[in-house]
Amino acid sequence: MSLTIVSADKRLAESRGIKGCICGKSGVGKTSLLRTLKAPTMLFMDLEAGDIVPQGGDR
C-alpha cells in the first residue's frame, strides 16, 4: 500500500462545501431549517433517538 502526497495547490484547487451543525432545544425549528437545504447536497445524521425523517417518509 502506498500513500500519495497531495500538494497544497492541488488541495486548494478542489471544490469544497460548507459544513455546519444545527443544534438547539426541542421545538425551536431545527427540522424546519433543515427542510430549507438542498436535499442532494446535505447529509442528515440522527444523533439522538426520536428524530423525524426530513423528507417526511418512513425510516
Residue type, 58: D
Q: Do residues 10 and 34 lie in contact, with contact meaning Cβ atoms separated by under 8 Å?
A: no
Q: What are phi and psi of 31, to 5 degrees?
A: -65, -40
Place of cell 442528515: 44
Residue 11 CA to residue 25 CA, distance in Å, equals 37
Whole-number pLDDT of residue 59: 43
Angle (CA) 49-52-54 rounded to 5° is 135
Q: Do residues 25 and 49 lie in contact, with contact meaning Cβ atoms separated by under 8 Å?
A: no
pLDDT tens digits along 11-57? 889 888 778 888 888 889 888 888 888 777 777 776 776 666 666 54
Each domain of the chain, given as residue ranges in start order, spans 21-53
Whole-number pLDDT of residue 57: 46
